[in-house]
């Protein structure tokens, strides 16, 4: 088992993985925030339980191990008690996770520009006072000085996008999103790593479900895939927000259903001046290093991007 580098901010700390005991068959869902994490948890849950309704809330079935709103002991005990095949959420990239050959790592990407827009709405729906209070009860807040608050968001949406592209102080930045995806991309040939994409889910969810089932060694026919895909639609999941969303029982959201926002693609387009578009391209090239397949995949997924993935 390889120990990775540390990723730490106000909300999560990858060091919480230290000492965790994997089981053969464990599934790690590793995504940048707002990139289809809860969607992928839902897909995995349906495949594992062969059902659209589950024995517990998603927060308990598939906990976010690194998040600082529950103690590490609580999460470890919760996972140790599980009898079903475990599927664990994380926003830590592969190079920050312990690695085990008997574990499947599912990496999910999304256009970074769409992530930036979605993250703005995400933060606008958060009750930060509640989050900090819960964090304090779970892990203590003596280290809050390590995380100075970011500057207030600009009223200018173009400036907010510029700040994201330039990776100014924030929990989710251009570097954290694109670096996470580049790390997964570089590991795509490894037999226990599989890449998925938000755009591919939007394009043909039944087929992506069948692909995920194949990766996990689970049989899924076309008829069952269609049933599952319908249950994993945005409106269906929004109606089950209290059951499926993260941290719903800890009052961190102003409106639980708003977590499942109907965000489209390309909402960022009117924020990109010629200057900012050029700068975005320059920053992306820092990670792509001439690899056009990587650029096509993070923007469009494997289908629309025409990118061949190992599986």
- Entry pTM: 0.93
Q: Which of 85, 311, 310 is nearest to 215 (CA)?
A: 311
Cα(308)–Cα(201) distance, rounded to whole angstroms?
Answer: 16
Please report how the helices 274-288 and 174-186 are oriented relative to each other, as an axis angle in degrees rounded to 10: 40
- Grade residue 274 by pLDDT with cuts at 50, 70 and 90: very high
**Number of folded domains that form the chain:** 1
Check which CATH number belongs to the domain holding 23 and give it. Answer: 3.40.50.300
In a domain, 218, yes or no: yes
| Catalytic annotation, residues | 91
Average pLDDT for residues 295-309, to the nearest whole number? 93
> In the prediction, which pLDDT does 3 show?
60
- The pLDDT tens digits of the residues spanning 197-254 come to 999 999 999 999 999 999 999 999 999 999 999 999 988 998 898 899 887 566 677 6
Residue position matching structure tokens 């053969």: 24
3-state secondary structure of 53: coil
In a domain, 96, yes or no: yes
In a domain, 19, yes or no: yes
The whole domain housing 250 covers: 14-304
> In the prediction, which pLDDT does 197 show?
97
- The pLDDT tens digits of the residues spanning 147-202 come to 988 778 889 999 999 999 998 777 889 999 999 999 999 999 999 999 999 999 99
In a domain, 267, yes or no: yes
> In the prediction, which pLDDT does 149 show?
80
In a domain, 7, yes or no: no
In a domain, 2, yes or no: no
In a domain, 1, yes or no: no
In a domain, 3, yes or no: no
């Amino acid at each position: 088992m390889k120990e990775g580098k540390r990723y730490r901010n106000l909300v999560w700390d990858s060091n919480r993985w230290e000492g965790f005991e994997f089981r053969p068959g464990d599934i790690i869902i590793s995504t940048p925030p707002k990139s289809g994490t809860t969607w992928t948890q839902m897909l995995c849950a349906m495949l594992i339980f062969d059902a659209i309704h589950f024995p517990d809330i998603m927060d308990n079935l598939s906990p976010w191990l690194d998040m600082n709103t529950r103690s590490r002991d609580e999460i470890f005990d919760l996972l140790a008690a599980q009898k079903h095949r475990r599927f664990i959420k994380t926003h830590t990239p592969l190079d920050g996770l312990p690695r085990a050959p008997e574990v499947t790592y599912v990496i999910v990407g999304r256009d970074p520009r769409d992530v930036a827009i979605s993250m703005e709405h995400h933060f606008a729906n958060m009750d930060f006072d509640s989050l900090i209070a819960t964090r304090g009860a779970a892990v203590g807040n003596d280290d809050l000085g390590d995380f100075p608050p970011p500057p207030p968001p600009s009223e200018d949406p173009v400036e907010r996008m510029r700040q994201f592209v330039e990776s100014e102080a924030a929990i989710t930045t251009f570097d954290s999103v694109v670096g996470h995806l580049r790390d997964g991309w570089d590991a795509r040939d490894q037999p226990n790593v599989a890449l998925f994409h938000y755009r591919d889910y939007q394009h043909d969810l039944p087929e992506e479900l069948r692909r995920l089932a194949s990766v996990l060694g689970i049989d899924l026919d076309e008829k069952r895939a269609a049933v599952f895909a319908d249950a994993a639609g945005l409106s269906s999941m929004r109606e089950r927000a209290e059951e499926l969303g993260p941290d719903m029982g800890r009052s961190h959201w102003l409106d639980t259903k708003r977590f499942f926002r109907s965000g489209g693609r390309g909402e960022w387009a009117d924020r990109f001046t010629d200057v900012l578009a050029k700068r975005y391209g320059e920053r992306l090239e820092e990670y792509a290093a001439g690899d056009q397949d990587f650029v096509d995949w993070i923007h469009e997924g494997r289908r629309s991007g025409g990118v061949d993935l190992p599986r």
